[in-house]
Amino acid sequence: MSAEIIYGDQLSQTLRDQMKTELANLKKKGIHPKLTVILIGDHPASRSYVSGKQKAAEYIGMDSELLQLSSETTEEELLSLIYELNQDDSVNGILVQLPLPTHINEQRVIEAISPIKDVDGFHPINIGKMMTNQETFLPCTPYGILTMLQMNKIDIAGKHAVVIGRSNIVGKPVGQLLLNENATVTYCHSRTTNMKELVQAADIVIVAVGRANMIDASYIKEGAVVIDVGINRLEDGTLTGDVDFDSVKEKAGYLTPVPKGVGPMTITMLLKNTIKAALNQCS
Ligand code: GUN
């Protein structure tokens, strides 16, 4: 069997076109959702992600601004900027691109962002709401993955989902979202001793580790749904995921590519969260 490939860029295009129409209608009512992105230093991958966010916002007609700060910016300076943006009614969503330089405490920064403008869904209040299955901003990559599954009408309830990776941004929250959808969830990580056996039992596999081609077909159950969150740049400059695409596509039921898979969905969900923030703030 050859897997059905889930193209996140195509799903994103559909969702972005819908949002473009929604924004045009909101603007007629005087609502202008605006996203402010803060980028500190010049981490090349972060620059590229931020530019993707700006371009997508522009495409749907969303106001966005990029505040680029030097890598020498102090934590106090960054916190003061966030407090200003929290007070600024023209700004609906605030995103501080991670990772931050090591002299800045990431958690303090995340907690400084007003939960009502936290379009990344990283604030502990929003994480708590997600865990208790309340309406909130869902973290963009997990939200994008859930949307990809739902748009393909893939059953989640009762399925065994194995999440490989336990980052705060992807692994932990995607497992929680799948649990909220009534999956049985297992987490694997660097200290897991029987990972292959666990993954072989999975109906849905989410791989978010950051190691090129780590998961090959020998890990995958026939017909499983495989979502590849990895973005790894090889020495020759090509981008590849954490999943060995060519071997896994012969065994999986569904598979996401890299690039054109989860990446575009992450940006799309950020735009969705920003529209939601603007609507919440004007009501
Ligand atoms: N760095 C990598 N992914 C993300 C993300 O989703 N949000 C932010 N703020 N930084 C990131």
Q: Indicate the domain borders of the chain.
A: 30-114, 140-263
How far apart are the C-alpha atoms of 101 and 106, rounded to whole Å? Answer: 9
What is the reported pTM? Answer: 0.98
173: tokens are 């929250």
Nearest CA, atom 8, ligand 1: 97
| 40-82 pLDDT tens trace | 998 989 999 999 999 999 999 999 999 999 999 999 999 999 9
CB 221 within 8 A of CB 203: yes
Burial zone of 261 (CB within 10 Å; 0-12 exposed, 13-18 middle, 19+ buried): buried
Assign a CATH topology to domain 30-114: Rossmann fold (3.40.50)
Over 80: is that where the pLDDT of 283 sits? no
Give distance in angstroms: CA of 14 to centre of ligand 1: 23
Band of the pLDDT at 123, cuts 50, 70, 90?
very high
Mean pLDDT calculated for residue range 101-109: 98
| 26-38 pLDDT tens trace | 999 999 999 999 9
Provide the pLDDT for residue 1. Answer: 72
How far apart are the C-alpha atoms of 271 and 123, rounded to whole Å? Answer: 18
- Point out the ligand 1 atom lying closest to the alpha carbon of residue 46: 1
Average pLDDT over the chain reads 97
Residues 6 or more apart whose CB falls under 8 angstroms from that of 19 comprise 60, 62, 268, 271, 272, 275
Band of the pLDDT at 235, cuts 50, 70, 90?
very high
Assign a CATH topology to domain 140-263: Rossmann fold (3.40.50)
Query: Is it true that 30-114 and 140-263 share their CATH fold?
Result: yes
Binding site, by residue number, is: 165-167, 231
Look at the block and give the residue holding tokens 């620059």: 47
Is the Cβ atom of 113 under 6 angstroms away from ligand 1? no
Provide the pLDDT for residue 33. Answer: 98
CB 111 within 8 A of CB 124: yes
In angstroms, what CA-CA distances link 17 with 14, 26, 61, 149, 254? 5, 14, 10, 19, 25
Over 90: is that where the pLDDT of 122 sits? yes
